[in-house]
Amino acid sequence: MMVWLRIVYAAIVVALASLLLMPFQLLALYFDWKLRRTLPGFWHRIACHALGIRVHVHGSLERRRPLMLCANHASWMDIMVMSSVADVAFIAKSEVRSWPVFGQLSRLQKSVFIVREEKRNTGNQANEIAGRMADGEIVVLFPEGTTSDGNRLLEVKSSLFGAAAMAVPHSPNGSVFVQPVAIAYTKAHGVALGRYHRPLAGWPGDVELMPHFMDVVKNGAIDVEVRFGEPVDYRADSNRKDVSSTIARRIRAMLNSSLRGREIN
């Protein structure tokens, strides 16, 4: 009975928030008001509350611009978690556009959809990302390119870090700041998640979306830590692979610290 009450409560709260906020977001998108950047965060904070996702932030968001956030990607919940702590736009693979519910939400948040297989479009996609950052938007990149079980950082792909390089000429100080972020799902109902139970929150690519979504709703109490690390100053003479390697190393250190319940020395 409690499980069903939790599901009904979450459904009602999210539906009401959507009905109230969606018309304003559609208008903001049509007229390109800056309100389009802030409304999604409000919706995602409500959704996190309704689903029982409790977000704990360590460190702080870099205040300088242009800014790209690079985070590990454990779950579909990462979108809600990141949006709840900062007004951001996401770089998403093109398939997300057609997903039920999440595709619509991504379009409403004006995500940048990329087609990784079409290399001829890479330049145009990177230009769009660079333009968004140059306009003051905070762009989130998941450089692993896929989700995981939440226990580790997968191989980081350096290709889309080229968008940061393209934004450098548009920066008033000649730099783009690339900040590492670690997202770690640490507890369920106050009990620490171990390696074998973390897939309750993590969403590996071979797990279907809706069953996993329902499991999260039924669980109703997940703690997640978001750690903001030291940013990398990306300049015209920076090496893309060196930047991606540094970012990966810092994400991995913060992620391991959160999963083990230790502070970084």
**Is residue 27 included in any domain, yes or no?**
no
**Is residue 23 included in any domain, yes or no?**
no
Q: Which domain holds residue 226?
A: 53-260
pLDDT at 131: 83
pLDDT at 121: 57
Q: Is the pLDDT of residue 168 over 60?
A: yes
Of the candidates 127, 125, 128, 155, the one whose C-alpha atom is nearest the C-alpha of residue 142 is 155
In this predicted structure, which of 17-31, 106-120, 144-158 has the lowest mean pLDDT?
A: 106-120
Say how far apart CA 78 and CA 201 lie, in whole Å: 10
The residues, ordered by sequence, that sit 6+ positions from 134 with a Cβ below 8 Å of its Cβ are: 66, 167, 170, 171
**Is residue 207 included in any domain, yes or no?**
yes
**Is residue 118 included in any domain, yes or no?**
yes
Whether the pTM exceeds 0.85: the reply is yes
pLDDT at 54: 95
Q: Is the pLDDT of residue 103 over 90?
A: no
- Contact by Cβ (8 Å): 251, 180: yes
Confidence of residue 224 (pLDDT cuts 50, 70, 90): very high
**Is residue 71 included in any domain, yes or no?**
yes
**Is residue 47 included in any domain, yes or no?**
no
Say how far apart CA 260 and CA 258 lie, in whole Å: 5
**Is residue 221 included in any domain, yes or no?**
yes
Which token pair is 124? 């145009």
- Contact by Cβ (8 Å): 103, 96: yes
Confidence of residue 123 (pLDDT cuts 50, 70, 90): low
* Alpha helices, DSSP H, located in 194-239: 209-219
pLDDT at 122: 59
**Is residue 144 included in any domain, yes or no?**
yes
The distance between the two most distant Cα atoms of the chain, rounded to a whole number of Å, is 60
For the chain, how many structural domains are there in total? 1
